[in-house]
Chains A and B, each alone.
Chain A
């Protein structure tokens, strides 16, 4: 069972984690949901599309203007409280690496701390433990938050991703985070070039085999863009192809911009893999 604070999910369930940016400058939406009302409207939209989780972020991943802890809190805490109140059944994840921000959003009702920067703040695990929140343990190859990979190489990127995420998961466990509340994420494109992200996709079943639930964040990323030579805005099909491969391997949570499309692809692949029944099969069985 997967337990994300007040929400539980069966071991064969897949979850759509919809990206909600409270940022003026994230790569995909370019500030479309920067205003709190716009971000809230985005939450309502993705919930209507069936997203089980919303992942609210106040700082874009790429380098840019430094955002203080106070500013990050100002961007996300109020929105979390509003979503908690209006959508009690949706899982609220917050994309942050800072323990202080994690504590503030958990206080406001967040269920998951999505640490895209691989444990850069060692106290984040304590916050997750304190609030009974879920924790996403990512692999960044030791990258500093908000930096781009530059000439990063690995002997074996998958082995490195497994070693680091499992070590992070065990550190979280030791800090008191429930085993059922810990998720690992190879973090495509974080501390990785396109070849690394492709290899992580191709060998994702090795991460799944660790037994920790695996989250993948593929949506419209540069490894898709570079593979197909397509700009942001034209990467949906490539994203979905990679999504199908990760679903086949057994990824459980999908961090996405396009919820409805991803849900269809994941359900299809999950059913091909024999982990889900068809919605309604009668042809030839009448």
Chain B
């Protein structure tokens, strides 16, 4: 599969607390984990993981394995991108509060929901770095989104001052009449 081919695509955040080695007795990210597993579960048995960091790749691979699929760089049935919005969304956020963060995340959210590859590619990398946003995989994500992909946002929140999304993009059923 190459960019441009239509396959299910998903986005999850690179939250280290999702990794088994950082498990707690009470899962602090239970709701997020459930949403991530749900979107990853829609990617089929062989999943290509694209991430902007090594730890992001590990988080992606861990979720793929958790749903019983395998990581497959070649000929995948679906693509999992790992990334998230700003880590400066609140006073207690890892990067402390930055007043620009919310607007940045809103723009990113719009681009994700619209499956707007051009907007994703146009993300301001400098601002993203200043806002501690993990956007390294967005260019690749943009390449896998095609016309007809419809976003389903299963998680949208910043519980620890970091903006997370769990999104899946699947092709709209062509047999469905849309008004």
* Residues in chain A within 8 A of chain B (CB atoms): 276-282, 284-286
Task: Specify the main secondary structure of chain B where it touches its partner.
Answer: loop
**Minimum distance in angstroms from B28 CB to a CB of chain A:** 4
Instruction: Give the chain B neighbours of A286 by CB distance below 8 A.
Output: 15-17, 87, 93-94, 160-162
Task: Say whether A280 contacts B15, CB under 8 Å.
Answer: no
Instruction: Name the A residues within 8 Å of B29 (CB-CB).
Output: 282
Residues on B with beta carbons closer than 8 Å to the beta carbon of A281: 17, 22, 24, 28
Interface residues as binary, B49-76 with A (CB distance below 8 Å gives 1, 0 otherwise):
0000000000000000000000000000
* Chain A residues with CB under 8 A of B15: 285-286
- Chain A residues within an 8 Å CB radius of B93: 286
* Residues of A close to B87: CB separation below 8 A: 286
Instruction: Give the size category of B's interface with A.
Output: 10 to 19
27 intermolecular pairs with C-beta atoms under 8 Å apart: A276-B25, A277-B23, A277-B24, A277-B25, A278-B24, A278-B25, A280-B25, A280-B28, A281-B17, A281-B22, A281-B24, A281-B28, A282-B17, A282-B24, A282-B28, A282-B29, A282-B160, A284-B16, A284-B94, A285-B16, A285-B17, A286-B16, A286-B87, A286-B94, A286-B160, A286-B161, A286-B162
**Closest residue on chain B to residue A286 by CB atoms:** B160
A280 to B25, CA, bound (A): 6
0/1 interface trace, chain B 18-45, chain A, CB 8 Å (1 if under) = 0000111110110000000000000000
CB distance from A269 to the nearest CB of B (A): 16
What is the distance, in angstroms, from B14's C-beta to the closest C-beta of chain A? 10
Q: Contacts of B16 on A, CB cut-off 8 Å?
A: 284-286
CB nearest to B84 among chain A residues: A286
In the complex, what residue of chain A is closest to B94 when comparing beta carbons? A286
Q: Is B17 within 8 A of A279, CB to CB?
A: no
Cβ distance A157 to chain B, nearest Cβ, rounded Å: 37
| Complex-state Cα separation, A284 to B94, whole angstroms | 7
From residue B155, how far is it (CB to closest CB) to chain A in Å?
14
Give the CA-CA distance A128 to B139 in the complex, in Å. Answer: 70
Report the Cα distance A278→B17, complex, angstroms.
12
Q: How far is the CB of B95 from chain A (nearest CB, A)?
A: 10
In the complex formed, the residue of A with least CB distance to B14 is A286
Q: Is the CB of A279 within 8 A of B94?
A: no
**Contact indicator A279/B24 (Cβ below 8 Å):** yes
